[in-house]
Amino acid sequence: MVATKDLSVSLCGLRLENPVIPASGTFGFGLELADSFDLNVLGGIALKGTTREARPGNPTPRIAECRAGMINSVGLQNPGIEVLVGEKAPALRKIYRGAIIANISGFSLEEYAFNCARADACPDIDILEVNISCPNVHNGGMAFGTDPAQAAAVTRAVREAVREKPVFIKLSPNVTDIVSIARACEDAGADGLTLVNTFLGMRIDINKRKPVIANKMGGFSGPAVFPVALRMVYQVAHACRIPVMGCGGVSRSEDVVEMMMAGATAVQVGAENIRNPFACPEIIAALPELMDRLGIGSLQEIIGIAA
């Protein structure tokens, strides 16, 4: 019989019953799965990425399968910030007691600041997660997250607009030096970091002789990216003083423990939710037995232990 294990973690002063969180874009607004299992088994829920105005997303096809993952180019389809704070988050809070994480996107500093201020004022949201993989429309379309100065600029703009909630910056892995960008965000006032977002990938239909995805390229995720994501989590967690939420290719309880040993305080599960909507509760259920086998009494104690 497995002895009682402490799965709880402390994230920016918030107590999570366990570190497992469905990643943004893979779990809708949480409400979609409410009839499938008890959402309260989850440590937190990262909601679908939200922009100021509603967006229909990219043209189809948007998904391409890969041997060890998937490529998506959904294009931030969402109902807009007012629907998030006025309808989605309040509805989720009525049935869910864990951490609700609003994932905020924007195409200008002003849009990021506006969206984050609106989310900060919503009592049903606990953490703001700022996606800086969006293209800066005022800077030739270059993603905010590929340049330390641009990443810092978003962080400062958001930090000035937010009064109450912790701000996590979600980093893009499509860079040569993720540590310099992480440090720039930390110096600009970020309370935490989420890494990594998806990698840029592509598939070609050899019969049709054209890209599978209408947008040609998209975000590659799934088990194939786990070792690279883990390396980046390790690098950033040991270079920065603020907490990290690890993400990228997590599909098993062993992956959660590995991410935490690398330095992650909480761990997000992304593409695996698309393949298996019950992935998160299954991972959580498997953690106590794994901890027993590894001689771990508390998950909080293993954060960064692989240093």
- The catalytic residue positions are 134
Asked whether the beta carbons of 158 and 130 are under 8 A apart, the reply is yes
DSSP state for residue 13 in the 8-state scheme: T
Of 232, 228, 224, nearest to 251 by C-alpha is 224
E strands, 73-222, in order: 99-104, 127-131, 167-170, 192-195, 199-202, 204-205, 210-211, 217-221
Task: Kindly give the pairing relationship between strand 244-247 and strand 217-221.
Answer: unpaired
Q: Phi-psi category of 189—alpha, beta or left, where left has phi over 0 and alpha has psi -120 to 50?
A: left
CB proximity list for 65: less than 8 A, separation 6 or greater: 203
Please give the angle made by the CA atoms of 197, 104 and 154, to the nearest 5 degrees: 85
In 3-state terms, what secondary structure has residue 82?
helix
Tokens of 256: 């959660």
Neighbours of 53 (CB within 10 A): 10
CB 51 within 8 A of CB 102: no
